[in-house]
Each structure stands twice: as structure tokens, then as C-alpha cells.
């Protein structure tokens, strides 16, 4: 009996050290829901920087498709792109990695540079390693601040909800590259 407890504790420590994010099977998910059905949510905040690289040999944001009319549109209406942008703790590109912002967006406005975005913040470090936050919203790129809804998550962020506030640190209108500061507030169990 005691031996089992020790093994259990050791396993928990190992799971914690590797992050709780790696997707588990349906049994574990159902158990988690039962355990958390009356639990109180906690609030977690993140601060990091997104490196959006469009130019050069190793872009992390690439156009995938567009309509004929997109080339005539001042707002790139109809352009669809894929991104897998690096997220770091500080503004420098060689700062400690937090994870990646991985997903798709499309230019969905005729009037302004407005992007419908759907992507995941995929954490790759520490206790959040493997866990994700699902972001879905409308990014008015020329506004100083943009609010993108966090609509869910996986791993330690199951049933998460929150808001990511975006602000450009800089945007190079020649290369298209940008550095974007993210403040994320999220409620989760
Ligand atoms: C798009 O442009 C190409 C090349 O000019 C043309 O062949 C094609 O018919 C156009 N497609 C539409 C849907 O207008
Ligand atoms: C994050 O998790 C992956 C997959 O389990 C693992 O390969 C990787 O080494 C982990 N990274 C860190 C920094 O713990
Ligand atoms: C590009 O940025 C420069 C420097 O910030 C600015 O002077 C210029 O007006 C911008 N060009 C366009 C087309 O927005
Ligand atoms: C903006 O991008 C252009 C083209 O890559 C580059 O020549 C220029 O130095 C960049 N400007 C800044 C301020 O980094």
C-alpha cells in the first residue's frame, strides 16, 4: 500500500516537471471534469512578446491564399495566412522562449486593416509545457490596443476563458515584420 503511494507521488512529480499539458485520454478528461465541476476558478496572468516575421529566409507568417481582388484592396481583403510566431519573455528575439502562437488569420475587413484570427498560444516551457490557450477574435491592427478573446484551452487550461491585450512595440511597414506585446489574463481551474 505504502509503496503504491510513493510511486504515485513520484509519478505526480514527474508529470509536474514535464508540464501537465500533453493531451490525455478520454478517461482522464472525464475524471478531470468530475473533479472540477464545483471547483473555483483561479486567475493567471501572462506577459510576453510575439515576433511576427514576414520577411527574410525564415518567415513565421506566410500568405497562403488570396482572391484576385485582394491585390487591388488597400486592406488586403481576402488574404489568408498561416503563422507560427515565436513568443518570448522579453522583447529581444533571443529572450527566453515561452511558446508559439500557431494558427491562421484572414483579412476580413473592406474598411480597415482588420484580421480575423484563430490561433493557439502553445506553451513549450515549465509547468505549462504542452498546454494551450485558444484565441479567436478580430484584430484591428492599426488600433493602439486590441483585445482578443481567449475562448478555451487544453491541458492545465481546460475550460479557460480570458482576454489577450495586444499592443505593437514596433511595426516595420517596409518588411512587414512586427513585435507585439501581449498581456493575457485568464480564468481557469
Ligand atoms: C483571376 O485572375 C486570373 C488571371 O488574370 C484569371 O485568369 C481568372 O479568371 C481570375 N479569376 C476570377 C475569379 O476573376
Ligand atoms: C516540453 O514537453 C515536450 C513533450 O513532452 C518535451 O519533449 C520537451 O522536452 C519539454 N520541454 C521542456 C522545456 O520541458
Ligand atoms: C511607414 O513608416 C514610416 C516610419 O514610421 C512612416 O513615415 C511612413 O508614413 C509609413 N508609410 C506608410 C505607407 O504607412
Ligand atoms: C525595415 O525593414 C527594411 C526592409 O527589410 C529594412 O531595410 C529597415 O532597416 C527596417 N527598418 C527598421 C527601423 O528596422
Say yes or no to pLDDT of 17 above 90.
no
CB of 60 closer than 6 angstroms to any ligand 2 atom: no
Count CA within 13 A, CB hemisphere, residue 89: 6
At 32, the pLDDT band (50, 70, 90 cuts) reads: very high
At 24, the pLDDT band (50, 70, 90 cuts) reads: confident
The Å distance, Cα 75 to ligand 3 centre, comes to: 16
The Å distance, Cα 68 to ligand 1 centre, comes to: 6
Q: What is the pLDDT of residues 149-182, one digit of tens each?
A: 999 999 999 999 999 999 999 999 999 999 999 9
19 and 73 share one domain? no
Q: Which residue puts its alpha carbon closest to atom 9 of ligand 2?
A: 18
Grid coordinates representing 14? 514527474
At 9, the pLDDT band (50, 70, 90 cuts) reads: very low
Number of separate domains in the chain: 2
Say yes or no to pLDDT of 37 above 60.
yes
3 and 74 share one domain? no
75 and 133 share one domain? yes
7 and 87 share one domain? no
Average pLDDT over residues 64-78: 97
Burial (Cβ within 10 Å: 0-12, 13-18, ≥19) of residue 186: buried
Alpha-carbon distance values, 142 to 26, 112, 145, 158 (Å) = 43, 8, 9, 32
Quick one: pLDDT at residue 46? 97
164 and 123 share one domain? yes
CATH of the domain at 169: 2.40.480.10
20 and 50 share one domain? no
4 and 82 share one domain? no
Quick one: pLDDT at residue 122? 98
At 5, the pLDDT band (50, 70, 90 cuts) reads: very low
Maximal C-alpha separation, the chain: 72
Compute the mean pLDDT over every residue in the chain, rounded to the nearest whole number. 91
CB of 125 closer than 6 angstroms to any ligand 2 atom: yes
The Å distance, Cα 53 to ligand 1 centre, comes to: 29
Burial (Cβ within 10 Å: 0-12, 13-18, ≥19) of residue 123: buried
153 and 175 share one domain? yes
171 and 81 share one domain? yes
52 and 63 share one domain? yes
Site to substitute for ligand 2 among 18, 20, 128, most atoms within 8 A of C-beta: 18
Element (H, E) at 28: helix 26-36
Q: What is the pLDDT of residues 91-102, one digit of tens each?
A: 999 999 999 999
Q: Which residue puts its alpha carbon closest to atom 4 of ligand 4?
A: 175
Range of the domain at 31: 1-38
20 and 61 share one domain? no
19 and 90 share one domain? no
Average pLDDT over residues 127-132: 96
The Å distance, Cα 176 to ligand 3 centre, comes to: 11
Say yes or no to pLDDT of 13 above 50.
no
Q: Which residue puts its alpha carbon closest to atom 7 of ligand 2?
A: 18
Quick one: pLDDT at residue 86? 98
Amino acid at each position: 500500500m505504502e509503496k503504491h503511494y510513493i510511486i504515485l507521488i513520484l509519478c505526480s512529480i514527474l508529470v509536474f516537471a514535464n508540464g501537465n499539458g500533453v493531451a490525455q485520454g478520454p478517461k482522464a478528461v472525464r475524471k478531470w471534469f468530475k473533479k472540477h465541476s464545483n471547483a473555483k476558478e483561479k486567475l493567471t496572468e501572462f506577459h510576453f512578446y510575439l515576433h511576427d516575421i514576414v520577411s527574410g529566409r525564415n518567415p513565421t507568417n506566410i500568405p497562403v491564399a488570396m482572391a484576385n481582388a485582394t491585390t487591388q484592396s488597400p486592406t488586403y481583403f481576402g488574404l489568408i495566412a498561416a503563422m507560427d510566431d515565436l513568443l518570448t519573455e522579453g522583447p529581444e528575439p533571443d529572450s527566453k522562449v515561452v511558446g508559439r502562437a500557431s494558427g491562421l488569420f484572414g483579412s476580413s475587413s473592406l474598411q480597415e486593416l482588420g484580421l480575423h484570427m484563430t490561433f493557439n498560444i502553445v506553451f513549450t516551457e515549465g509547468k505549462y509545457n504542452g498546454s494551450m490557450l485558444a484565441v479567436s477574435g478580430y484584430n484591428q491592427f492599426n488600433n493602439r490596443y486590441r483585445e482578443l478573446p481567449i475562448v478555451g484551452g487544453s491541458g492545465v487550461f481546460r475550460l479557460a476563458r480570458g482576454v489577450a491585450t495586444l499592443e505593437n512595440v514596433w511595426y516595420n511597414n517596409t518588411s512587414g515584420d512586427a513585435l507585439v506585446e501581449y498581456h493575457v489574463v485568464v480564468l481557469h481551474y
